[in-house]
Structure 1
Amino acid sequence: MAAAPHIRTATLDDEEALGRLDRDTWSTLHAVMPRPQPPYEPFYSERFGPRDHLVAELDGRVVGYIRLGFPTPLACNAHVRQILGLAVADEARGTGVGRALLRAVCAEARGQGARRITLRVLGHNAPARGLYASEGFAVEGVLREEFLLDGVYVDDVLMGRSL
């Protein structure tokens, strides 16, 4: 049986590993932005820093992350958090890393006082949709054919759950 991933808040020292993970896992299965090209943008930005990321480690190696933020800057929406990114290294898929990150981010959002958590997932990303559904997320809306990826129109699926 594989060891359970260690989940922690990201640090500044994680930036290089997180950027590499983001580039290595890029796919039109979950990304709507073009494939990153050198010179690469920093992983952290003015909008999202280490405090906005939970990191998964296996045997001391960063193998996943999840980004948590606010869906809008409005005070009337401050009770909601949104998952704004999730990546798991190819070699760590199927080991429970994604599920552990999802559970940890829900606990983090709850700890911040959030009542709901939402996310957006591409309609053709069946593995992610299955994971989210198994953790209590329900489809709350579908933007039909929202993106054109690799010559195919893809739905943008809005999912959410109460905390």
Structure 2
Amino acid sequence: MIVPEIRIREAVPSDEPALAELDRTTWSTLHAVLPAPEPGEPFYDERHLPEHYLVAETGGAVVGYVRVVPPTPLACNAHVRQIQGLAVAASVRGRGVARALLRAAMERAGREGATRMTLRVLGHNAPARALYAAEGFAVEGVLPGEFLLDGSYVDDVLMGRSLL
């Protein structure tokens, strides 16, 4: 089977329907602490703007996204970017889409002057934790039992890496 090339680009307002659908179809307590998005619920809002996202396309279809933002509005923290969402369509998992999005996010953050990237991942999300570790992220803290998901307490794992 020939896999179409993966293209990473900045999100635009017209991506909203595709991103909202991707968000709904990939939602899982493996990675989400918020309730599942409802059909018709907007993807973008005043805190989630197109410029915060990179999208992955293959064959002209949006198949993934990563959201990268400064973790705070503080000037003393402006050198840090934080991944606050990463999703990949089930149809293309295992083909390097998440890795490509992650690398593109780090490259863009570096171009913007960031010297550090952080993220939070649920302790039971072994595939994501393995990907982040393979890309140089290290566990920098754990909040034990921070979330109650599906009747079980789940750790919040803080990871980070230098972009230098």
| TM superposition score category, shorter chain reference | over 0.9
Q: CA deviation at 1:4?
A: 3.5
Contact 1:68-1:85 at 8 Å conserved across structures: yes
Say whether 1:120 aligns with 2:120.
yes
User: Which residue pairs with 1:57 in the alignment?
Assistant: 57
Normalization by structure 2: what TM-score? 0.96
Show the counterpart of 1:24: 25
Please name the residue that 1:12 is paired with. Answer: 13
Shift of 1:20: 0.4
In 2, Cα distance between the equivalents of 1:36 and 1:13?
19
C-alpha distance in 2, partners of 1:68/1:137?
15
Q: 1:132 maps to what in 2?
A: 132
Shift of 1:34: 1.2
Spell out the pairing of 1:1-163 with structure 2 (5 A cutoff): 2-38=3-39, 40-163=40-163
Deviation at 1:45, TM superposition (A): 1.1
Letter of the aligned partner of 1:51 in structure 2?
E
Give the % identical residues.
69
How many matched pairs?
162
> What do residues 58-80 of structure 1 show as CA deviations (whole Å, max 9, x unaligned)?
11110000001011111110000
Deviation at 1:2, TM superposition (A): 2.9
Where does the alignment leave 5 or more consecutive residues of structure 2 unmatched?
Answer: none
Q: Give the TM-score of the pair, scaled to structure 1.
A: 0.96
Maintained 8 Å contact 2:5/2:59: no
CA distance in 2, matches of 1:63, 1:145: 32
- Structure 1: which 5+ runs fail to align? none
Deviation of 1:48 after TM superposition, in Å, equals 2.0
* Deviating 4+ runs (over 4 angstroms): none
Q: Which whole-Å CA distance do the structure 2 matches of 1:162 and 1:129 have between them?
A: 17
Using the alignment, how far apart are the partners of 2:106 and 2:129 within structure 1?
16
CA distance in 2, matches of 1:128, 1:153: 18
Residues 144 and 156, structure 1, Cα contact 8 Å, conserved in 2: yes
Q: Is the 8 A contact 2:23 2:37 kept in 1?
A: no
Which amino acid letter does the alignment assign opposite residue 32 of structure 1?
Answer: V
CA RMSD, 1 decimal: 1.0
